[in-house]
């Protein structure tokens, strides 16, 4: 059995959005901090990794949002290493309310073990594995689902260009993992405004778009002052849900830095219950919705 660690985080006012919910990106921050604390509790804090000349780099995150947390809540983040492979590891998370015990979110993050100097994969030492699995590591490794594929962006894909800010980088010298979720949210908000459905109009219609699940795949690190382009488009538009896809590309060399998929649900802003996507919204977003192609069906369900 792996070591299990729990960290508690009291929700701060500035971590909440206009709906009064914890912003989606902040769950990733809780997870990251809990992972660091769990590693330190196992004897591997940042200083020890520095002595080893090694670093963990997030490669992919899959998070499912169950219910929103709000200001004043305390979130218990339970985390454990699910498995080790030669140069990678998967860490699992459960986020619960300390008051009610209700499940708020669950997630996994796949991490790559790198040589800090070369940034190339390094073999995970046996002593590190034993620290996290003191009773021994099972030979069985969890399967890895492929990152959900996306249909090609339509002509109406929304494009946002920006430069990486100093505050977005962490001590590893890269843009912090949670920032990619912020970029997707920023691009998404500008996209809905571009297609004439800003949050104020949605509020007038009594609906909002809430995250149900988010997948992030990190392919290459973004660095300070990189100019990037974020592209956003929709697919699989159904009665009350839709998939929004994002790519993050560095303009100087055309390198694809990250891919992000978000399953969004249209819901009543007062009750949180799913609501049919307004027909006017479907019509306005038509240019942003990917058409059907082989292997993909960006089907708009109107029934």
For the domain 147-303, what is the CATH code?
3.10.129.10
- Check if 1-145 and 147-303 are the same fold: yes
**Per-residue pLDDT tens for 70-107?**
999 999 999 999 999 999 999 999 999 999 999 999 99
The Cα–Cα gap between 185 and 195 comes to 15
Could you list the beta-strand ranges (E) of the chain.
Answer: 4-10, 54-65, 74-84, 88-97, 103-115, 158-163, 207-218, 227-235, 241-250, 256-268
Measured CA to CA in angstroms, residue 75 lies from 27, 41, 181 at distances of: 10, 19, 20
Query: What are the angstrom distances between the C-alpha of 124 and each of 31, 52, 133, 134, 153?
Result: 22, 11, 13, 15, 38
pLDDT of residue 144: 80
Which residue's entry shows tokens 């049919």? 276
Note the pLDDT of residue 299: 40
29-86 pLDDT tens trace: 999 999 999 999 999 999 999 999 999 999 999 999 999 999 999 999 999 999 999 9
Residue pair 1/30 in contact (Cβ under 8 Å)? The answer is: no
- In this prediction, residue 94 carries a pLDDT of 98
Prediction pTM value: 0.92
Q: Is 201 helix (H, G, I), strand (E, B) or coil?
A: helix
Encoded tokens for 29:
């921050």
DSSP string, 183-196: HHHHHHHHHHHHTT
Number of H helices, E strands in the chain: 6, 10
Given 3.40.190.10, 3.30.565.10, 3.30.70.1290, 3.10.129.10, which CATH number is that of 1-145? 3.10.129.10
Residue reference for tokens 């058409």: 291
Higher pLDDT pick, 241 / 301: 241
Residue 178 is inside which H or E element, if any? Answer: helix 177-194
Residue 241 CA to residue 207 CA, distance in Å, equals 12
- Residues 274-283 pLDDT 10s: 999 999 999 9
Residue of 217, 198, 220 lying closest to 209 (CA atoms): 198
The phi, psi pair for 227, rounded to 5°, reads -90, 125
The residues near 63 (Cβ < 8 Å, ≥ 6 apart) are 27, 28, 31, 105, 106, 107, 213, 214
pLDDT digits (tens, 9 = 90+) for 171-230: 888 999 999 999 999 999 999 999 999 999 999 999 999 999 999 999 999 999 999 999
- Please answer whether residues 208 and 255 qualify as being in contact, where contact means their C-beta atoms are separated by less than 8 angstroms: no
pLDDT at 302 over 50: no
Helix (H, G, I), strand (E, B) or coil at 4: strand
Compute the distance between CA of residue 97 and CA of residue 8 in angstroms, rounded to an integer: 9
Return the domain boundaries, the chain.
1-145, 147-303
Taking the CA atoms of the chain, what radius of gyration do you get in angstroms?
20
């Amino acid at each position: 059995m792996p070591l299990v660690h729990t960290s508690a985080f009291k929700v701060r006012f500035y971590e909440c959005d206009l709906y009064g919910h914890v912003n989606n990106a902040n769950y990733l921050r809780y997870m990251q901090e809990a992972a660091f604390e769990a590693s330190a509790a196992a004897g591997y804090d940042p200083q020890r990794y520095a002595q080893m000349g090694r670093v963990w780099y997030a490669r992919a995150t899959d998070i499912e949002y169950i219910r929103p947390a709000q200001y004043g809540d305390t979130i218990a983040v339970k985390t454990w290493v699910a498995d080790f492979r030669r140069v990678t590891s998967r860490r699992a998370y459960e986020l619960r309310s300390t008051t009610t015990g209700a499940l708020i979110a669950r997630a996994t993050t796949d991490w790559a073990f790198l040589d800090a100097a070369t940034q190339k994969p390094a073999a995970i030492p046996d002593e590190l594995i034993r620290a996290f699995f003191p009773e021994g590591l099972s030979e069985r490794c969890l399967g890895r689902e492929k990152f959900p594929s996306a249909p090609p962006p339509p002509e109406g894909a929304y494009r946002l260009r920006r430069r990486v800010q100093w505050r977005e980088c962490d001590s590893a010298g890269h843009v912090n993992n949670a920032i990619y979720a912020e970029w997707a949210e920023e691009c998404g908000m500008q996209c809905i405004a571009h297609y004439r459905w800003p949050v104020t109009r949605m509020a007038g219609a009594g609906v909002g778009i809430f995250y149900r699940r988010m997948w992030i795949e990190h392919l290459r690190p973004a660095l300070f002052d990189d100019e990037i382009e974020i592209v956003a488009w929709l697919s699989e538009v159904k009665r009350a849900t839709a998939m929004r896809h994002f790519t993050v590309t560095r303009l100087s060399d055309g390198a694809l830095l990250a891919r992000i998929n978000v399953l969004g649900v249209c819901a009543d802003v007062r009750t949180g219950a799913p609501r049919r996507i307004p027909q006017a919204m479907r019509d306005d977003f038509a240019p942003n919705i990917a058409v059907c192609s082989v292997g993909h069906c960006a089907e708009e369900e109107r029934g």
